Amino acid sequence: MAKRKLDSKAFAKQKQSRRKWLTFIRMSRYGINNFSRNAWLTIAATAVMTITLLIIFTTVSARSILVSTIDQVRDNVNMSIYLKTDTSSADAATLTKDLEKLSSVRSVQYITPAAARTQFAQENKYDVGLINALTEATNEFPGTLSISVKDINDTSQLQNFVNTNELLKQDISPTRAPSFAGPSKAAIESIGGAVGFAEQIGIVAGLIFVLISSLIIFNTIRMAIFNRREEIDMMKLIGADKSFIRGPFVVEAIVYGFIAAVIATGIGLGMLYALAPTLSNYVSIQPTIDFVTFYIPFILLGMILIGAFIGVVSSLLATRRYLKV
């Protein structure tokens, strides 16, 4: 008897699960069918959703490109502390070790006066007049502590080191101040400002188009509800669940988001490849292209989820307001 009751409960549970699955299949089928009922509204909703997702893709890509550019410029810019020409190798090695202990410093290299002279001559080898003047000059180049920092905009630790380190005070060049500023730093600060500005513009534009897209999808779903009001009333009369009535409209909105995400991702990737030859002369775009290409399945999934989220929220608001369910 107890076994028969257990079998009966298991059968009822299995039947209920099957009914839920069939209901889900029907809602999905109705939603996909609804997607093709009004072509112009469908195209409008999908187009605006595509623009919205493309702006989000462009904003994130632009930020990645600018950050890569900043990193590239930062890696090529070193801070310099100039030492006297008679600074001993032991003092230079001690100062190098002390500087490497600073948390803001990535690496330190000591360039001897002779190496600095050779490097200068190599960099200006095509300037005959300058090379002749260098050959005749009797003054020595200073030794240089070339310092790579983690954040070029933060030199407070280096400045404090210059002000407080007793050994450095003895060996620092009296005629050349440390190079803690210059055109390269100004360029990085300009790019950093551009990153912040681009992020703000992108966020504002993205929010505006998310709102517009949501409103269009909201109105599309509302018109679909109005066109099928008799059908919906009939479903209510025969006792259809609220979720069954609302489900097809949610599925329809998800389809908008899915198609728009695929189109926006394809256009965005195509734009990156198309602009790469031109932009590579000004910014570091290749790391972003490599990242997007390698992780394109995950990026596409993220775009689909964003599009689906926008569509679902819009459809739920529309069904709640106009279906009264």
**Per-residue confidence (pLDDT) for residue 172, from 0 to 100:** 86
Contacts of 172 (CB under 8 A, 6+ apart): 81, 82, 83, 84, 162, 178
Q: Which among 296, 288, 276, 293 has a CA at the least distance from the CA of 71?
A: 288
**213 CB-near residues (< 8 Å, 6+ apart):** 45, 48, 49, 51, 52, 310, 314
The C-alpha angle 232, 238, 243, rounded to 5 degrees, equals 60
Q: What is the mean pLDDT of residues 56-70?
A: 80
Q: How far is CA 145 from the centre of its chain?
A: 35
User: Is the confidence at residue 218, as pLDDT, over 70?
Assistant: yes
Phi, psi of 173 (to 5 degrees): -70, 130
Strands 79-83 and 105-111, by their bridges, are: unpaired
| The pLDDT of residue 325 is above 60 | no
- Read off the pLDDT of residues 142-154 as tens digits, 9 standing for 90 and up: 788 888 887 776 7
pLDDT of residue 280: 83
Confirm if 140 and 116 have CB atoms less than 8 A apart.
no
Check residue 198 and give its pLDDT: 64
Which pLDDT score is estimated for 309?
A: 86
Residues with Cβ within 8 Å of residue 195, at least 6 apart in sequence = 63, 66, 67, 70
CATH architecture of 85-172: 2-Layer Sandwich (3.30)
Of these ranges, 222-236, 284-298, 305-319, the one predicted with the greatest mean pLDDT is 284-298
pLDDT in the model for residue 265: 93
Give the lowest-confidence range in 90-94, 271-275, 306-310: 306-310
Does the structure show a pLDDT above 90 at 73? no
Structure tokens given for 221: 């779903």
pLDDT over 60 at 221, yes or no: yes
Quickly list H helices, the chain.
Answer: 2-35, 39-75, 89-100, 113-123, 128-136, 156-164, 166-171, 183-227, 229-237, 242-279, 286-294, 296-322
Are 147 and 80 contacting, i.e. CB atoms less than 8 angstroms apart?
yes
Q: What is the pTM of this model?
A: 0.65
Residue-wise pLDDT for 153-169, tens only, equals 677 888 888 888 888 88
Tokens standing for residue 47: 């187009």
Task: Give the pair of three-digit tokens for residue 19.
Answer: 């009914």
Say which residue, 209 or 105, is predicted with more confidence: 105
- Residue 122 confidence (pLDDT): 67
**Mean pLDDT computed over 222-251:** 71
Domain ranges of the chain: 30-72+188-322, 85-172
213 contacts 52 by C-beta, under 8 angstroms = yes
pLDDT of 120 higher than 90: no
Residue 85 in this model has a pLDDT that exceeds 90: no
pLDDT digits (tens, 9 = 90+) for 270-300: 999 998 888 888 778 888 899 999 999 999 9
Enter the DSSP assignment of 179.
B
- Spatial contact of 236 and 245, defined as CB atoms under 8 Å apart: yes
**All residues at 6 or more sequence positions from 315 whose CB lies less than 8 Å from its CB, including other chains:** 217, 218, 221, 246, 249, 250, 252, 253
Q: Which residue has the higher pLDDT, 244 or 27?
A: 244
Q: What percent of the chain has pLDDT over 90?
A: 8
| Other Cβ atoms closer than 10 A to 2 | 6
CB count, 10 Å around CB of 22?
Answer: 10
Determine the pLDDT at residue 277: 87
pLDDT category of residue 194 using cuts at 50, 70 and 90: low
Decide: 146 and 109 in contact? Cβ < 8 Å. yes
Among 3-7, 57-61, 77-81, name the one with the lowest average pLDDT: 3-7
Tokens found for residue 62: 């632009």
- What share of the chain has pLDDT > 70, as a percent? 66
Residue 145's pLDDT is what? Answer: 87
